[in-house]
Chains A and B, each alone.
Chain A
Amino acid sequence: MAEQLPALILLAPLFGALLVGLAGPRDRRVCFPVVLGALAVSLCSAVGVLVRVLAGGPVDYFVGGWSEPLGIGIQLRVDTLNGLVLVVIAVVFVLVGVFSIRRAGEENTEKSPQYYTLFLLLAVGVFGMTVTGDAFNLYVLVEVSSLTGYALIAMGSSPRGTVAAFNYVVMGTIGASFYLLGVGYLYMATGALNMAQIHEIVATTGAGGSRTVLVAFILILAGLWTKMAFFPLHGWLPNAYGYCPSTSSSVLAPLVTKVYIYVMIRVMLGVFGAEWIFEHVGWTNIVVWLATVAILAGSLLALAQTEVRKMLCYLIVAEVGYMVGGAWLANRWGMAGAVYHIVADALMTLCLFLAVNIIVKRTGRLRMDAFDGLFRKMPLTMAGFAVGALAMIGIPPTAGFFSKWYLLRGGIESGHFEYVAALLLSSLVNAVLFFRLFERAFFGGNPAGGHHPDRTAAESGPTQQGWVGDSTLLGGEARASTLGPLLAAAALVVAVGLLNGPIVSAILRYFENMPVLGAP
């Protein structure tokens, strides 16, 4: 049984999706337990695999039993890095699954079974991308997750969301096609599709010096950068995530870009090899500069937004810059910081999106004024939001602080001070952004002169403008099914922060046999 775990991670949601697809239209009540059950199985399997990996090294799984000779079948491979990423993905899916209990039904009244099927299939795609060890299989799973993503964004969203979904389809297809071309070039030069095999050929034979492999690398990188919304290629992201249904954005925003970053790291280390990239090609400076520009541009664009959800979307663009830059610093702290930041950022983005989606739903407003006086009206929601925001800014003991710490250390040790400066500046911008919201939430929206300390929440709360009337809908906290995941995500942000020591040392152990990343 333990041997089947790597496959079980993605097969559970797949069969869950089929079950929902078959039984859901007949009886809606089936959907939710199946979704949660399937995701729980995934989570347990992911944790199980990670435990096995930490105890006994990487776990391989050969689909179809084609293990000898290597490369004829498709290999799944779980090591420390993707074991960690798998667990985080599973956690995010479970939390968003709980969040969507009633939400999905409200947003897609007719189509909630289809929504849940697509939701589970998105999980399949994302898990599959993380776990696969085959370059072409990665393409297929990229398409599984992309197509579900297009559908989740386009279904039941506003006209603007539909237009954004179309742009996403076009950009996403360009990205995936570039990746596919890159794999073709690699296949042409090496005759292999298995990642480990390609790595060996690139590292040991003359193929590594050929123009074909170089162009393959550029194509794959360009494709993945498009998919992860790395700055000049980010155009599709803000509108797509900003205008789609809240349950969709809650799962897409925290996960999709991060998974592509993991894929980029996997391709860098597992397909081309750190030595080939940092010594043979050696574009570290260019890419770190690109990342610096991405961080600054993302932060500044976020500052210019008036709608909260779009502001968060631009922050994602900045965060992508953090991680790409960290991975390209060519030292182990930067790389470890990037991987740790994948974990941290997934959780804090989840936190922020859940909170903002609750708030937007409750207040019916997309702009900053939705936050007016919220600390009194929805203290728990705002507490969750605050934890996510503090993590974004980088205040201890949240995970955001430690990930920035490792990234900064990597930047300083490798002498990329432009990257360090950009990181600090972007933290400052985040602080400005979020404290603007906090200010509104504390003092705003009170027509009678704001912050009188003697006015208690009980007095002023329900009498605010727009809050009078239907108190069951508007007044007070959100319901438990949406609040629970938010608070759990907030707790995890802090927990991951406190556990940064063991997590990062496990990640660093992974880089031990890569001398090019610096001696331990």
Chain B
Amino acid sequence: MKKFALVAVIVTGSLLLYAVGDFPAFGDAKSPANAGVEGGFSVSRYYITETAADTAVPNIVTAVLADYRGYDTFFETTVIFIAGLAIFAILRVANPGAPDRRDRPSSDSGVEGDHNRVIIGMTCRLLIPVIQLFALYVVAHGHHSPGGGFQGGVMLGASFILIAIASDLDTALRRFSERRYLALGCVGILIYGGFGLLCQLLDRHFLDYGVLHKLMGVTPVMARSHSMLGVEIGVAFTVTSVMFAIYANLSTRGELRSGL
């Protein structure tokens, strides 16, 4: 196996290097990827010059991500959702022996429950709202600065994971129960797809946000901009819940008990 692996690696590596000699120089603004083949149309140039007029979004990456190639991003969100679902499907085991969470005495109320963890608990108490607020900012400000649904969603998910790490998984699950995160993952995609479906109901193609100006009462260009915010929020929902789902299942081998 090792020998086979070595051969495969060397063959692949030399194949890739064989083409590298043919590449345009690093950082060349006139390379086909950056400026199209000579005389031809360049997608990337189009994005840079026309995004502002087409969508009124300053961050070109966000515009391409959520609008021009929004179909990719839609399925990217689906992929994340599938990952959450798959981990649930593979790992989750019912634990009939465990007492119901609600029946347990609620001595550990709140993040700082454990007396030995006063410092950690207090720090998290201060930190988590800030993290969540910043996450919301990142989601909402994706139009103007690097950010968006994925980044913000990961942060929101991390804040719940932080609760789980600082106290225990039960505390985190009380705030974000399994039923809730599974549903929220669906809802996120439903929001994204809902925008697309709405466009279809208004007799346009899937995700053609421009037509939503009829509902929003703004120009078609601004309707695109606003819809992008909408789908980013959907993405953030899904990413948040799946990040937490992955942590919760992986850290407890699917038992969702106490955890690390």
Chain A positions near chain B (C-beta within 8 angstroms): 3-4, 7, 11, 14-15, 18, 21-22, 25, 61-66, 69-74, 108, 110-111, 114-115, 117-118, 121, 124, 128, 134, 136-137, 140-141, 143-144, 147-148, 150-151, 154-156, 181, 185, 187-193, 201, 205, 207, 210-212, 214-216, 218-219
Contacts and interface: CB of A to CB of B under 8 A. Distances in A.
A155 B35 contact: no
- List the 10 shortest-distance A-B pairs measured between CB atoms, nearest first: A151-B86, A65-B208, A215-B19, A211-B22, A63-B71, A155-B89, A191-B32, A21-B186, A74-B71, A191-B36
Contact of A74 (B22, B23, B69, B90): B69
Given A64-B71, A72-B47, A141-B75, A211 B42 contact: no
A173 B185 CA distance: 24
B134 interface: no
Interface string B1-32: 00000000000000110110111100000011
B205 A192 contact: no
A150 B208 CA distance: 33
B160 interface: no
B31 A188 contact: yes
A78 to B, nearest CB: 14
Nearest to A1: B203
Interface stretch (B76-84, B117-125, B168-176): B76-84
24 contacts: A11-B193, A11-B197, A11-B206, A14-B193, A21-B186, A22-B187, A22-B190, A25-B179, A25-B182, A63-B206, A63-B207, A64-B209, A65-B208, A118-B85, A143-B79, A144-B75, A144-B78, A144-B82, A147-B82, A151-B90, A156-B89, A188-B24, A207-B37, A219-B15
B182 A118 contact: no
Given A64-B207, A201-B37, A74 B193 contact: no
B35 to A, nearest CB: 7
Interface string B153-189: 0000000000000000000000000010011011101
Given A121-B78, A190-B32, A191-B33, 4 more contacts: A21-B182, A61-B205, A147-B82, A205-B38
B194 to A, nearest CB: 9
Contacts of B185: 21
Interface in B207-238: 207-210
A212 B85 CA distance: 38
Contacts of B75: 124, 128, 137, 140-141, 144
A155 B22 contact: no
**Size category of the binding interface on chain B:** 35 or more
B67 interface: yes
Contacts of B204: 65
Contacts of A156: 89
A372 B235 CA distance: 54
A414 to B, nearest CB: 28
Residue among B23, B90, B182 with the most chain A CB within 10 A?
B90
Mostly, the A contact residues are: helix
Contact of B79 (A11, A21, A73, A140): A140
A463 to B, nearest CB: 41
Interface of B: 15-16, 18-19, 21-24, 31-38, 40-44, 46-47, 67-72, 75-76, 78-79, 82-83, 85-86, 88-90, 92, 94, 179, 182-183, 185-187, 189-190, 193, 196-197, 200, 204-210
Contact of B82 (A110, A121, A155): A121
Nearest to A136: B72
B37 A205 contact: yes
B71 A137 contact: yes
B88 A114 contact: yes
B85 A151 contact: yes
A7 B34 contact: no
Nearest to A214: B19
Nearest to B185: A21
Contacts of A218: 15
Given A65-B204, A191-B40, A148 B82 contact: yes
Contacts of A201: 37, 40
B51 to A, nearest CB: 10
Given A136-B72, A189-B32, A18 B186 contact: yes
A190 B37 contact: yes
A71 B41 CA distance: 9
Residue among B31, B47, B79 with the most chain A CB within 10 A?
B79
B21 to A, nearest CB: 7
Contacts of B187: 22
Nearest to B73: A140
Contact of A18 (B31, B189, B200, B210): B189
A18 B74 CA distance: 13
Contact of A147 (B83, B183, B205): B83
Contact of A148 (B15, B42, B86, B179): B86
Contacts of A21: 85, 182-183, 185-186
B37 A191 contact: yes
B18 A207 contact: no
A219 B19 CA distance: 11
Residue among A18, A62, A218 with the most chain B CB within 10 A?
A18
A15 B200 CA distance: 14
A118 B89 contact: yes
B68 A64 contact: yes
B70 A64 contact: yes
Contacts of B37: 190-191, 201, 205, 207
A191 B42 contact: yes
Contacts of B19: 185, 211-212, 214-216
B98 to A, nearest CB: 15
A310 B67 CA distance: 45
Contact of B193 (A15, A108, A115): A15
Contacts of A187: 33
B163 to A, nearest CB: 24
A151 B82 contact: yes
A72 B86 contact: no
A193 B43 contact: yes
A151 B249 CA distance: 15
